[in-house]
Structure 1
Amino acid sequence: MSSTRADTAARGPYCAMSELLRERFAARDLKLFSPRPAQSVQSGRFRTRFRGRGVDFEEVRLYQAGDDIRSIDWRVTARTQTPHTKLYSEERERPVYIVCDQRSPMFFGSVNCFKSTLACHIGALLGWAALHSGDRVGTLVFGDSDFRDARPKRSKHSVLQLLQFLESYNHALQSPIASTGGLSLAQICKDLRRIATPGAAVFIISDLHDLDDEAEKQLFHLQRHLDITLIHLSDPLEQQLRAHGPLTITDGASRVQLPAQDTQFQRAYEARAAEHLAQLQARAQRLGLERLALSTADSHTQLLRQRFGGARRGGRQ
């Protein structure tokens, strides 16, 4: 497939299954993890910063000079009266979890598409990229009141299940006004601690509007065992309020019209948006997490190719 179609931005208030399936073509250009040359027959494809062996048991054989005495199988040794040692092989893939926000505040957009639609396209693209790399793909898609998750599997079915969850939650959205008492990012992170296996790579796709102290606390616990990337979605209108005529603002129940020349309100609005962005950056830095920023005005395939393109990508280990 030509790169022209792959580079187009997501469109509309809702995603389409045909478009999510089409993301598999653009995913061929992405490498979520940097490969490294094998150091031995037991080497995996990726370095990991997580403690522990992270290995699978393979077999028991006779002890040889130079073997690690900590790997001696004492039961077999006692039974045979001959030293035996256990052999392990390192994991040759890393589970990938796609965590996608489909709550009401994501149902907003002024350019190209809504944030919720963009999140679906990014989730689909990352899922296909992980599958193309031979990794197991897990899913957690959440709305205002519930979520669906699926354990990581290395199969096309796992990605198709991800797409079904994305489409279902996306098409259930009706309003950007969130109901009270809904799921928070902190709650999702807490559930993620139970669901995700240590050493997995986690991509959290959200506008991060409620990344507060409690969510930061949960992310702190998560990042000790998981490789987390925050994909922060926004819309240009959320950052800069510009209009040629009067503005009508509503909270879903009442409406207020502001004159186009109300520069005081515009400055206050943009200052608050800048403050929120600065807080997000500070939290990500404190946690040591990577934050990728994408807007509904962007081509998500181009930006993700810049970050995860095989030839241009070197830092993520």
Structure 2
Amino acid sequence: MRSNPPTAKAAKTPHARAEGVLPELTELIALREQARRLDLAPRGRVLATRTGGHVARFRGRGMEFDESRVYQPGDDPRNMDWRVTARAGRPHVKLFREERERPVWLLVDQGPSMRFGTRIAFKSVVAAQAAALLGWAAVDRGDRVGGLVFDETRHLERRPASRAAGLLPLLDRLASPAPAFRADAESSGPAGGYASLADAAGHLVRLVRPGSLVAVISDFADILRTQTRWMTELAAACEVILLPVHDSIESRAPPSGRYPVTDGRRRGLLDLTRSGSREAYEDLFRSRMESLERLARRNRAHLLRLSADVPVGPALALGLGGRGRLPAAGGFA
């Protein structure tokens, strides 16, 4: 098994792609058709600032009828509710809730632990496909889409924009090979990458406006070691979907043996011959998922697990309810 493809080679031959290692931009764009199966309707009250397709929390003239009430001096006579007026014998007016467009943010982890796969595709590819599907679903709803795509050496940040203007640069970045690792590369800076999901999410917190939908796509490999304050801050004013991506060999240990592993720069040996080593291996993954589930429940976030050996489109459609609803906060799909 191999994590992190040989990035130096990929950087020298950017057009050479192994299937399942790096997605083509055309493939990510073509996912727009599948994205029509996804339901990104808000699951709670929405705060936003522009006219669009989501019901806002305040009242005013708009697309969605809310209720009728007794006419008061100064009310717009164009909003008279004649049926209720006739029935009640007193003038009533209609109140509406305005519809607003919702900013959608995609936080996509492409770091070293994501560049790993044993069967169909690397976790980074699954993350790219999930981001494309969610992004296109949002675009088709009329939402503004932006995001932050990062690895250990670079990041791309785009503020939410209408139509596909915010999404396409993110997809292009997801389809481009990671540069060769440099020991002197910036680990967390304006032009550099982020060493961890927590670092990238901490930056995102400062960008996201209340009422946004934030989808965090990662393997959450360091969830047991890093702070999670970013989650609390995001969930306080936004709807959050956590999408952990895993490879089947992470949840189920391979048979007892010694397995060579590489991250493209260094080589090591995974020793599963010692007593209890396979159980400890599986316990670590289980602890990570349990910690993530507790985090989601505590912050009323949605949790949808994705596997690298299961097609992403159907998995997301099932998890999002196929034009239905998300599972209960913190629930697994």
TM-score, normalising length from structure 2? 0.70
Equivalent residue, structure 2, for 1:60: none
Quote the offset at 1:92 in angstroms: 2.3
Quote the offset at 1:153 in angstroms: 1.5
Contact 1:141–1:166 (CA<8 Å) still a contact in 2? yes
Give 5+ residue unaligned stretches, structure 2. Answer: 1-18, 45-50, 63-70, 76-94, 188-193
Helix, strand or coil for the counterpart of 1:274? helix
Quote the offset at 1:237 in angstroms: 1.0
Q: State which of 147, 152, 161 in structure 2 corresponds to 1:144.
A: 152
Tell me, yes or no, if structure 1 residue 17 matches structure 2 residue 25. yes
Cα gap change, 1:127 to 1:89, in 2 (>3 Å): same
Partner amino acid for 1:172? Answer: A
Quote the offset at 1:184 in angstroms: 2.1
Equivalent residue, structure 2, for 1:115: 123
Partner amino acid for 1:104? Answer: P
Stretch deviating more after TM superposition (95-104 or 140-149):
140-149
Equivalent residue, structure 2, for 1:276: 288
Tell me, yes or no, if structure 1 residue 172 matches structure 2 residue 184. no
Structure 1 CA distance for aligned equivalents of residues 59 and 210 of structure 2? 9
Helix, strand or coil for the counterpart of 2:31? helix
Cα gap change, 1:167 to 1:250, in 2 (>3 Å): closer
Cα gap change, 1:291 to 1:173, in 2 (>3 Å): farther
Q: Return the structure number with greater helix share.
A: 1
Helix, strand or coil for the counterpart of 1:14? coil
Equivalent residue, structure 2, for 1:222: 234
Give 5+ residue unaligned stretches, structure 1. Answer: 1-10, 37-42, 58-62, 68-86
Helix, strand or coil for the counterpart of 1:188? helix
Deviations 1:136-164 (A, max 9, x none): 11121111133211121222232222211
Helix, strand or coil for the counterpart of 1:130? helix
Cα gap change, 1:56 to 1:183, in 2 (>3 Å): farther
Deviations 1:15-57 (A, max 9, x none): 1112111101101111211699xxxxxx975456xxx749899
Structure 2 CA distance for aligned equivalents of residues 92 and 256 of structure 1? 54
Contact 2:115–2:122 (CA<8 Å) still a contact in 1? yes
Structure 2 CA distance for aligned equivalents of residues 153 and 190 of structure 1? 21
Contact 2:109–2:217 (CA<8 Å) still a contact in 1? yes
Equivalent residue, structure 1, for 2:136: 128
Structure 2 CA distance for aligned equivalents of residues 35 and 148 of structure 1? 28
Tell me, yes or no, if structure 1 residue 102 matches structure 2 residue 114. no
Structure 1 CA distance for aligned equivalents of residues 61 and 169 of structure 2? 27
Tell me, yes or no, if structure 1 residue 155 matches structure 2 residue 167. no
Structure 1 CA distance for aligned equivalents of residues 278 and 174 of structure 2? 35
Structure 1 CA distance for aligned equivalents of residues 269 and 158 of structure 2? 43
Contact 1:189–1:215 (CA<8 Å) still a contact in 2? no
Equivalent residue, structure 1, for 2:305: 293
Partner amino acid for 1:287? Answer: N
Cα gap change, 1:263 to 1:300, in 2 (>3 Å): farther
C-alpha root-mean-square deviation of aligned residues, in Å? 3.6
Quote the offset at 1:307 in angstroms: 2.4
The share of aligned pairs that are identical, in percent, is: 32
TM-score, normalising length from structure 1? 0.73
Report the number of matched residues: 271
1:28-43 correspondence to structure 2 within 5 Å:
28-33=36-41
Cα gap change, 1:107 to 1:161, in 2 (>3 Å): same
Structure 1 CA distance for aligned equivalents of residues 328 and 58 of structure 2? 20
Contact 2:262–2:268 (CA<8 Å) still a contact in 1? yes
Equivalent residue, structure 1, for 2:5: none
Tell me, yes or no, if structure 1 residue 187 matches structure 2 residue 199. yes
Quote the offset at 1:183 in angstroms: 2.7
Contact 1:207–1:232 (CA<8 Å) still a contact in 2? yes
Contact 1:20–1:124 (CA<8 Å) still a contact in 2? yes
Structure 1 CA distance for aligned equivalents of residues 198 and 270 of structure 2? 35
Equivalent residue, structure 2, for 1:39: none
